[in-house]
């Protein structure tokens, strides 16, 4: 396909009721922009947790002149059900978690001089994460864990986005990405008394979407979309007020993610973005706790420049499955 044809497709996409407004919103939730303090803090083996989270995103969408859309804004919410379980792996502490998200959004923008509004709701791609401690955190039962004191933890994790979300190749707005995504990550956590410092380095890898915005009035053929890897870095400094009551300032930075359509690179889609925020965790009973977080764009070149507020309720317990 020629560069001229690719350009025609891109313009047609912009005119399709502002669909790009939605496409730039939900990656905020599932990709490099994650802010997760204490992600590598270990728990006793056979720990279980169910978490219900509600997150609200609101703000502008920056296209950097890539498409003829101006004044783009979005208000979106994502509800997530998650389950996590810790276990022994090669003598080390390990955990698995799975998440099922559902999103609802309202979007507005001026597309080629025409005001456009859109409302969408539906299931997003599910995710799975496997984490294993490499240093400082042997697998421990509850009695051993009570005697242990954290110093330096080094961990490794792999997060996978599974293409289970709703997807229609004839439309640009979809709740699923029609591709897999993988996030290998190395995490370091160090405690000094009441203070905990966390730092993570990760690489997002994406498979190819071989059926992107295809077989419709704008593009009768089949289109292929690829995305370059994204490097992500994350840091946190948290303070324990008392057991299970802590607060943390958070920040991250990610770079990469440039896309191509049918082999034609689009340099305007390169991301070099950063978010800052804070998180507070409050216990309410032996098994329950609440976590509240806030973050906003600190430096955004391309994509969503949002403010995000999330509230999560967690119920945890200890016990082997029967």
Q: Give the residue from 188, 135, 130 showing the smallest Cα distance to 158.
A: 130
Question: Rounded to an integer, what distance in angstroms lies between the CA atom of residue 36 and that of residue 116?
Answer: 34
- pLDDT score, position 15: 43
CB 67 within 8 A of CB 10: yes
Contacts of 28 (CB under 8 A, 6+ apart): 57, 303, 304, 306, 308
Q: Check pLDDT > 90 for residue 316.
A: yes
- pLDDT score, position 19: 41
Quote the distance between the C-alpha of residue 147 and its chain's center: 35
pLDDT tens per residue, range 197-231: 999 999 999 999 999 888 988 788 999 999 999 99
Q: What is the mean pLDDT of residues 181-195?
A: 97
Q: What is the mean pLDDT of residues 154-181?
A: 89
**151-160, 162-171, 224-233: range with lowest mean pLDDT:** 162-171
Q: Give the residue from 204, 221, 216, 136 showing the smallest Cα distance to 168.
A: 216
Q: Give the residue from 178, 176, 182, 79 showing the smallest Cα distance to 129.
A: 182
Q: Check pLDDT > 90 for residue 168.
A: no
Q: What is the mean pLDDT of the chain?
A: 85
CB 106 within 8 A of CB 8: no
- pLDDT score, position 130: 98
pLDDT tens per residue, range 111-152: 667 777 777 788 999 999 999 999 999 999 999 999 999 999
Q: Check pLDDT > 60 for residue 28.
A: no
Residue 20: pLDDT band (50, 70, 90) is very low
pLDDT tens per residue, range 41-81: 999 999 999 999 999 988 777 665 555 566 777 788 899 99
């Amino acid at each position: 396909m020629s560069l001229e044809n690719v350009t025609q497709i891109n313009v047609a996409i912009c005119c399709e009721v502002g669909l790009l407004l939605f496409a730039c919103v939900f990656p905020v939730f599932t990709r490099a922009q994650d802010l997760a303090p204490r992600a590598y803090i270990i728990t006793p083996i056979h720990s279980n947790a169910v978490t219900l989270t509600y997150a609200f995103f609101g703000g502008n969408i920056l296209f950097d002149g890539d498409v003829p859309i101006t004044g783009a804004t979005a208000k979106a919410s994502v509800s997530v059900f998650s389950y996590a379980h810790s276990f022994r792996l090669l003598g080390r502490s390990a955990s698995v978690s799975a998440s099922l998200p559902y999103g609802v959004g309202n979007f507005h923008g001026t597309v080629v001089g025409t005001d456009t509004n859109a409302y969408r709701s539906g299931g997003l791609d599910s995710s799975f994460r496997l984490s294993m401690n490499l240093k400082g955190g042997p697998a421990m039962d509850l009695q051993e864990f009570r005697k242990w004191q954290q110093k330096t933890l080094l961990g490794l994790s792999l997060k996978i986005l599974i293409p289970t979300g709703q997807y229609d190749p004839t439309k640009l707005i979809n709740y699923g990405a029609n591709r897999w995504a993988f996030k290998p990550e190395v995490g370091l956590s160090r405690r000094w008394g009441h203070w905990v410092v966390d730092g993570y380095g990760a690489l997002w890898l994406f498979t190819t979407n071989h059926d992107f915005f295809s077989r419709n009035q704008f593009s009768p053929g089949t289109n292929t979309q690829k995305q370059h890897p994204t490097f992500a870095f994350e840091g946190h400094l948290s303070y324990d007020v008392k057991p299970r009551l802590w607060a943390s300032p958070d920040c991250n930075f990610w770079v990469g993610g440039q896309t191509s359509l049918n082999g034609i690179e689009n340099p305007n889609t390169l991301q070099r973005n950063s978010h800052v925020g804070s998180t507070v965790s409050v216990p309410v009973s032996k098994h329950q706790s609440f976590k509240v977080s806030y973050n906003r764009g600190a430096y955004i070149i391309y994509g969503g420049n949002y403010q995000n507020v999330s509230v999560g309720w967690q119920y945890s317990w200890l016990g082997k499955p029967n």
